[in-house]
Amino acid sequence: PTPPSRMPNGLHLRRSNRLGAGGANALAGALGRMDEMTHLNLSHNMLTAEGTSAVAESLGRMDKMTRLDLSFNSIGAEGARAVAESLGRMGRMTWLNLRNNDLGVEGAGAVAGALGRMHKMTQLIVSFNSLTAGEDFAPLLHALAAMPTLRRLHADDWDSSGLSPFMKNRIAAAAPAAEVTWPGRQQ
């Protein structure tokens, strides 16, 4: 085995690996021994909620993690709750990509609870997650307001979901230092 001092500080298993839940379960065991890791990219791996839950247990032990990409994995609300539990123990996180995971308002609310404790976050990507107008955005607004270092918020599909101008202004006001992007708007 590789001595801990020789372990990589980042792992990129993105696109076309198709780990799925089974591969994610196997990977979770290895990740549990990589507590020095600072960045992890598992985008486009069809993790689903089950695989994400397995990986999330290991993520919670990675307190040096600064960048995490779980985009395009269909983790849903269940996977989001598992990730949220781990995020609460990852205080150094500066960049998080949860794009296109079908979080819905329930999953986004769970993640938002953890994000409110992440005071070093500079970039958050939560585009294309089935968040629609009329749902309760309060947890997410509260989390955004608690992240003074946030500089970019990617919310690309929120405009097409029919958010009112009032709600768009509340989102922008919650993160005044952040550039908020969605179609037709850049601050």
Q: Which amino acid is at 168?
A: K
H helices, E strands: number in the chain? 6, 8
| Whole-prediction pTM | 0.86
| Bridge partners of residue 154, in order along the sequence | 125, 181
C-beta separation of 59 from 90 below 8 A? yes
pLDDT in tens, 84-117: 999 988 889 999 999 999 998 888 888 988 888 8
Reduced to 3 states, what is the DSSP secondary structure of residue 68? strand
- Average pLDDT over the chain, rounded to an integer: 83
CA separation for the pair 168, 147 (Å, rounded): 18
Mean pLDDT, to the nearest integer, of 160-165?
Answer: 62
